[in-house]
Structure 1
Amino acid sequence: MSNKQFNPLFSNPVRLLAPMEGLTDPLMRQILTQIAADLGRPYDWSVSEFIRVTQTVLPAHVFYKYVPELHHDAKTASGTPIHIQLLGSEAQLMAENAVFACELGAPAIDINFGCPAKTVNSHRGGSVLLDEPEVMYQIISAVRQAVPSEIPVSAKIRLGYTDTSRMDDIRGAIDASGADWLTIHARTKTQGYKPPAYWEKIQGFNSLDIPVIANGEIWNTEQAQLCIRQSGTSHLMLGRGAVTRPDLIAQVDKIDVAKDESLKTSTLLWSDLITHQIRFLQGEAKNDVVLVGRYKQWLGMLTKGYMEAQSLWNEIKRQKDKAAIIAALQASR
C-alpha cells in the first residue's frame, strides 16, 4: 500500500509537457498539445516557461505574454491546462506574484529550482538554490500558504547544483514545505543536458508523501519505460524528446490501435507533421524574422526524429523568407 496521499490529478500515470525556456513557448505548446490530442493521448497538463520574479509584483501583461492561455481558462486550444511556473529567490515576493497569477486564472503554481542558465543562477535563481534548501523551503511554504488551498503548488528541481551531496537536505525541504507534488530532472546543474540522466537517483525522493514526476533524457518508448523502472515512479514529464518527436506522448504508453479502432494511430508521419509546421510558421510572433528563427530551431531538432527533416534543413537553412520556407515544406510531402 502506497504511503502517498491521494491526489485526484494522479489517479492515473500523468504525462506532462516540460517547461523549456525559449522552446516550449505559447506557439510551440499550442502545436504540441494539439498533436497529442489528435493522436488520442493528450498531455495531462503543460507547465509554462518560467516567469522571472525579481523586485515587484509583475503586471498582468507580463503573465499574459508568457501564458496567453490565461485568456482562455488557462488552456490551450486543444484543452490542455497550463500551469504557471515562477522563478525567484525572495519568498514573500514569490508568494505575492503567485497570488496574482491565481487571480488571473492560474490553475496551479510551479516553482523553478532547476534552470541551469548561468545568467539566472548568477542572480540567485533556478538551480543555484539547490545549495540553499532552507531558502527553497521558505519559498515553497510561503507560496503554499498564500495561494488558495484548492490551487496546487509544485516544485521542479534537479538532483543538485554541482553534485548530489545535498539531496537529503533538498528532500527534507520539499517534505516540510507543503508542496503538492515534485518534478525531478535527473541530473545536476553541472551535468546540464549531457547524457545520461540518473533516473535511479529519483528513488531517494519516493519516500515523500506526494507524487514524484521523473524528467530528463526521455527520447523514445524504451527510455520512458526504463525511466519508470529505475525511478520508481509512473509519472513522466517529456521535454526535448517531445519536440523532436511530437508523437512521443502517444508512443510512450504504446497505444494499441489494433485493440481499439476508435483510437488513431500513435505515429505521426512526416507528411502529417507538415501541416503543423506550416501552422507554426503562420503563428503569432514579434515579426517574421523571429518566427523563422524559432522554426529553424524546431526543424533542427526534428532532424533527430525524421529523416525527411534533414533534407528540408539542407534546403532552407539559409532561407530567410517565410513564404519560401512554407513552399519548400509543401513540396516535401
Structure 2
Amino acid sequence: MSTVYRFTMHIHLAPMEGVVNARMRALLTAVGGIDRCITEFVRVTDQLLPARVFYRLCPELHHGGTTPSGTPVYVQLLGSEPGVMADNAARAAELGAPGIDLNFGCPAKCVNRHRGGSILLDEPELIYAIVSSIRRQLPDDVPLTVKIRLGFRDSLRFHDVVNAAETGGASLLTIHARTREDGYTPPAHWHQIAPARERFGIAMVANGEIWTPEHADLCQRDSGCEDIMLGRGLLSRPDLALHIKQQRLGNSHQPWSWEAVFPLLYALFEDSLQTCAPRHVGGPSKQWLGYLRRTYPQAQELFEQIKRLREPADLQEALQQHLPKAA
C-alpha cells in the first residue's frame, strides 16, 4: 500500500549550534520549502538575561521574528532551572519571539557537564517542571515546543520524557531518532518514534539522517510523523526541503546544480565580509563547503583551493573565479 501524505506537511530547519545562525537561516529559507526555524540555543543559568543576548542570537526579533523571506524563527533556550528558564522564555516572548523551543537534545559534553541538553533526558520529572513552569508564564498565544533525543545512554525512559513534555504543556515535540550515546552515527532509529506517536497526542516532528527525498519518505513511514526537521542534509543540499515539498505536491523538481548553489555560497561570503572580523571572514564559507562537498564534487575542489587562505582579498579573488560568467 502506498503512503498518503497531506500537502500541508511542515519542514523545520534544525538549530545547529555554530552553523545555522541568522545569515544561514536567511539564505536557506530564501530557497523555499522551510516552514520554521529555531535559533542556536540561548544558555540560561541563574539569571534573567538582557535583551541584547536574545537580539544577538535572534536578530530576526527586530523584524517581527521572521527571516527576510517570512519564515518564523523560534527562540531556543537551554538550561535546567525551571524558574529562571520561565523568566527568560517570557522575556523572549516580550521581545517578539513567535515561539519558544527548549533544548533537551544537545549531545555536547561541555553542555551536558553543566546540566544542559540531553543529560536531562534521564530526569523526565525535571523536564516536566521546566516545561510546565514556562507554559504557565508564557502568553497563551505563544507556542512552546521541545526538542529531544530518544534518550541519553539508552531509550528506556523515552516515553516518560514524551509524557513529561506533553503533560507539561508543550504543543510539539521534535525527536532526533538517536540517543546521546549514539551521537550522529548512522542509522537514525525512526521506527522507535512510532509507538510514542501512537500512544501520545502531542504533535511530533522526526529528525535525523534525512539526506534525500527518499530518506524523507522512509522517515515518515517508519516514524509515523508527517513533519520532519532537516539539518546537515539541508546544508549539504540547499534545495532539499523544496524538492521534498514539490514531490509531495506531485510536481517535478530538478535537483540544483553546483552552478545554482554557488551564488548562495558567495552571498554568504559577501555577508561575512561585512559582519566578521577580517581573520574570520573565510570561516563561514569554509564551514559550509564542508557540508556541500557531500553532494557536490566541485565543493571539495573549491575547499581544497581556499582552505589555507586567510586574507579576505585572497579569498574573494579565489571565489570570484567560480562566479557564473555573464552571457
Unaligned runs of 5+ in 2: 1-5
- In structure 2, the residue matched to 1:280 is 268
- C-alpha deviation, 1:224, in angstroms: 0.8
| Residue in 2 that maps onto 1:229 | 221
Counting only pairs closer than 5 Å after superposition, residues 15-30 of structure 1 correspond to structure 2 as 15-30=11-26
- Paired residue for 2:257, among 263, 266, 269? 269
- Tell me whether 1:124 sits opposite 2:115 in the alignment: yes
Partner of 1:181: 172
Aligned equivalent of 2:152: 161
Correspondences of 1:1-333 after superposition (within 5 Å): 12-36=8-32, 41=33, 43-206=34-197, 207-255=199-247, 267-283=255-271, 284-332=274-322, 333=324
Say whether the 8 Å CA contact 2:31–2:242 is kept in structure 1.
no
TM-score, scaled relative to structure 2: 0.92
Alignment partners' CA distance in 1, 2:148 and 2:16: 13
Amino acid at match of 1:35: V
Do 1:247 and 1:266's aligned partners in 2 also have CA atoms closer than 8 Å?
A: no
Distance 1:293 1:197 in 2: 29
Could you say if the C-alpha distance between residues 143 and 257 of structure 1 is closer, same or farther in structure 2, counting changes exceeding 3 Å? closer
SS of the residue corresponding to residue 234 of structure 2 reads helix
RMSD over aligned Cα, in angstroms? 1.8
Q: What is the CA-CA distance between 1:258 and the residue it aligns to? A: 9.1
Deviations 1:122-174 (A, max 9, x none): 00000000000000000001111110001100100000001111112212212
Q: 1:184 to 1:257 in 2, by over 3 A?
A: closer
Q: Distance in 2 between matches of 1:271 and 1:65?
A: 32
Q: Which amino acid aligns with 2:99?
A: A
Cα distance in structure 2, aligned partners of 1:54 and 1:73: 27
Tell me the TM-score normalised to structure 1 length: 0.90
Shift of 1:216: 0.5
Structure 2 CA distance for aligned equivalents of residues 308 and 213 of structure 1: 33
Alignment partner of 2:142: what SS? coil
User: Residues of 1 paired with 2:90 and 2:213: CA distance?
Assistant: 38
Taking the aligned partners of 2:275 and 2:299, their CA distance within structure 1 comes to 23
Which runs of 4 or more aligned residues in structure 1 lie more than 6 Å from their structure 2 counterparts after TM superposition?
A: none
Distance in 2, Cα, partners of 1:48 & 1:26:
8
1: CA distance, partners of 2:214 / 2:321: 33
Aligned partner of residue 90 in structure 2, secondary structure: helix
Per the alignment, do residues 259 and 16 of structure 1 end up closer, same or farther by CA in structure 2, a change over 3 Å counting?
closer
CA positional deviation for 1:253: 3.2
Q: Between the two proteins, what is the percent identity of the paired residues?
A: 45
**Residues 21, 40 of structure 2: 8 Å contact kept:** yes
Cα 1:257/1:320, change in 2 over 3 Å: farther
The total of aligned residue pairs comes to 315
After TM superposition, give the deviation of residue 256 of structure 1 in Å. Answer: 8.5
Residue identity matched to 2:265:
Q
Question: Could you tell which deviates more after superposition, 315-324 or 58-67?
Answer: 315-324
